[in-house]
Structure 1
Amino acid sequence: MRGLLLAISAYGIWGCFPLFFSLLANVSAFEVLAHRIVWAYVFTGLVILVLGRRKQLAALIANRRALAWLSLSAALITINWLVFIWAVSAGRVLESSLGYFITPLVSLFLGRLLLKESMNRWQVVAGLMALIAVLFELIAIGRLPWVSLVLAGSFGLYGLVRKMQPVDSLNGLQVETMVVVPVALLYLAWLWSAGQMMFAQSLSDTVLLIAAGAVTAVPLLLFAAAARRLDLIVVGFIMYLNPTLQFLSAVFILDEAYPPQRLLTFVLIWIAMGFFMAGLWQSHRRARRAMA
């Protein structure tokens, strides 16, 4: 029960991200991103100190191979954060929601193509349904839903990199932010020197920008704790709480307008999601029988 509550909390926080970052719509996406990196680095560093994990962090930084992989994952997650923040400020939360619905299917393809992981028939159907949904979106609006595809692609590749170089979420996030924090600080220094920094201009923006660090780190820590307690099938199912909440927030709270065909695209993705979960359940049952 505790693991279930942890997972719901993690995905619930992620699902409410559009509401949080919409409060910073008056701040440029690049400044929000820079503060998110800096304060996430500060927050995870404090948690590591409190938990006494400095030795593990030092060992991770000394591992050149791990540092190289985490530098790549840092670049991917930075792209993901930037596009998501921009999408929220631009009123394109529905597209970001679609991206996170597609993400598990991107991971499915990457696992099959690069890691040679097996796919059952339900997962093949899920992948084809997702492809049909993207093609339909392309034909209906005359262009690729680039926000959705960049979010799904960057996070799918991020998951692939972290799978190839597995480290715990806390130290992993600390190293990832450590890699990009110098760039973030240089950008903030340039904004300050140019008199364009929004930080410290108002109390509400300042508090929200600092809170972005904790908001980034907390769900990752909750998720890591949940993943240790729950079966993969349960974690995979609850994962869809995130884009579902984003979708509901966009339609009912942020009042985003969307063309009628966008609903059909989501229906196709939801059907693909159902096939995807059926495939996970089938694999889970087979693994249970093999262990019996």
Structure 2
Amino acid sequence: MRNTPLILSPQTKGVLAGIGACTIWGLSPMFYKQVAHVPAIEVLAHRTVWSLLFFGGVLAVQGRLGLVRAALDTPAKLGTMALASLMIGINWFLFIWAVGAGRTTESSLGYYILPLVAVVIGRVVFGEALKPSQWLAVALATGAVVLLTVGLQAPPWIARTLAVSFGLYGLIKKRLDVGPVVSVTAEVLLMVPIALAVMLQSEHRGGSAFHAGGETMAILLVSGLITALPLILFSYAARRVRMTSLGLVQYLNPTLQFSCAVFVFGELFTGWHKIAFGLIWVALAIYAASMFAQDRAARRAAIAAAVSGTGVT
């Protein structure tokens, strides 16, 4: 008897791609921890340069390099792309720095509250209505941040900056009529002059990563792949998976970051952290339930409209 080949549906392929992307992002602290001895700004410089080479190679194979120039061909496009580049640069740098500084727990908190920050941005910028359950989720997340501020006597600025910078990045990307790979290629292209300046300055001071040994350089070279691969996988998933499902898959990223911080790096996890993270998890559960309810309502409305359009009663 012949073995029947396993055929996966587009939806299943999309979910698997999303899981793959979020797994790479979630485990990336273990990757960047290996170069904690290199200044974060220099790691970011290498990540930028090698990412550009990887993305440029992908687009060259696809014959789409010209789209990068088109994405920057007017002052308005250039300005918008430069702003996106600034936001993602801040986000990348702070994440790399947090991992090296032993504050991955706080970075994971930032990515946990990111969906709720996005909800607030949607309300403020686009006037999107929020359900009472969504307001409750936002209130719980806000309470968690306030609790950490009071309990630790210091604001969780890393978490807030990561969440806000990526939330604003998403807002800017929403206004761009450019595919994700082309967009990120343009963004890192704008960052490259600064990245090269950082590399040259570090080399001039004699502290360049180029002299840190073959293992360090190999890790930095791979940072281009670590940056590019999950984005490509996530882009593939976004075209095939409902946003509700994709939103839930994304929680895998901060969960793995959190696991790395507490169980692998042994970072401090106080009682204040336990209460705050508990509130965040409750908030996310409420938010996820609300998103599922919206998704079901939208599908019922679509089915009803389809039935009505065919005249079936």
Task: Tell me the TM-score range normalised by the shorter chain.
Answer: over 0.9
Shift of 1:126: 0.8
CA distance in 1, matches of 2:166, 2:65: 27
RMSD: 1.1
Q: Paired residue for 2:163, among 146, 152, 166?
A: 152
- Which residue is 2:82 aligned to? 71
- Which residue is 1:251 aligned to? 262
Does structure 1 residue 208 correspond to structure 2 residue 228? no
Q: Please list the CA deviations of residues 211-266 of structure 1 after superposition, one character each: whole Å capped at 9, or x if unmatched.
A: 11111111011000000000011000001000000011111111112222101111
Shift of 1:166: 3.8
Q: Please list the CA deviations of residues 162-190 of structure 1 after superposition, one character each: whole Å capped at 9, or x if unmatched.
A: 11224211101110001111011011111
One-letter amino acid of the structure 1 residue matched with residue 122 of structure 2? G
Shift of 1:44: 0.4
Q: Paired residue for 2:281, among 270, 286, 290?
A: 270
Does structure 1 residue 37 correspond to structure 2 residue 37? no
- Which residue is 1:138 aligned to? 149
- Which residue is 1:10 aligned to? 21
Q: Please list the CA deviations of residues 253-291 of structure 1 after superposition, one character each: whole Å capped at 9, or x if unmatched.
A: 111122221011111000010111112112112211221
Q: Please list the CA deviations of residues 6-30 of structure 1 after superposition, one character each: whole Å capped at 9, or x if unmatched.
A: 0000000000111000001111111
Shift of 1:200: 4.2
Instruction: Give yes or no for contact 1:6–1:222 (8 Å, CA) kept in 2.
Output: yes
Q: Paired residue for 1:114, among 116, 125, 138?
A: 125
CA distance in 2, matches of 1:199, 1:107: 39
Q: Which moved more, 1:256-265 or 1:175-184?
A: 256-265
- Which residue is 1:123 aligned to? 134
Instruction: Give yes or no for contact 2:94–2:162 (8 Å, CA) kept in 1.
Output: yes
CA distance in 2, matches of 1:200, 1:223: 35
Instruction: Give yes or no for contact 2:133–2:287 (8 Å, CA) kept in 1.
Output: yes
Shift of 1:199: 2.1
CA distance in 1, matches of 2:248, 2:209: 39
Shift of 1:58: 2.6
Q: Paired residue for 1:168, among 179, 196, 219?
A: 179
Bigger CA radius of gyration: 2
Shift of 1:125: 1.1
- State the SS of the aligned residue for 1:66: helix
Does structure 1 residue 89 correspond to structure 2 residue 89? no
Identity %: 39
Structure 2: runs of 5+ lacking an equivalent? 1-11, 304-313
Structure 1: runs of 5+ lacking an equivalent? none
Q: Number of matched residues?
A: 292
CA distance in 1, matches of 2:125, 2:104: 30
CA distance in 2, matches of 1:247, 1:207: 26
Q: Which moved more, 1:257-266 or 1:106-115?
A: 257-266
CA distance in 2, matches of 1:59, 1:85: 31
Q: What TM-score, normalized to structure 2?
A: 0.91
- Structure 1 residues 122 and 166: CA distance shift in structure 2, 3 A: farther
Instruction: Give yes or no for contact 2:26–2:255 (8 Å, CA) kept in 1.
Output: yes
CA distance in 2, matches of 1:32, 1:211: 11
Instruction: Give yes or no for contact 1:44–1:174 (8 Å, CA) kept in 2.
Output: yes
Instruction: Give yes or no for contact 2:72–2:81 (8 Å, CA) kept in 1.
Output: no
Instruction: Give yes or no for contact 1:15–1:243 (8 Å, CA) kept in 2.
Output: yes
Instruction: Give yes or no for contact 2:110–2:159 (8 Å, CA) kept in 1.
Output: yes
Q: List structure 1 runs of 4+ shifted beyond 4 angstroms.
A: none
Does structure 1 residue 260 correspond to structure 2 residue 282? no
CA distance in 1, matches of 2:197, 2:275: 44
Q: What TM-score, normalized to structure 1?
A: 0.97
Does structure 1 residue 191 correspond to structure 2 residue 175? no
One-letter amino acid of the structure 2 residue matched with residue 27 of structure 1? V
Q: Which moved more, 1:70-79 or 1:48-57?
A: 48-57
Instruction: Give yes or no for contact 1:237–1:277 (8 Å, CA) kept in 2.
Output: yes
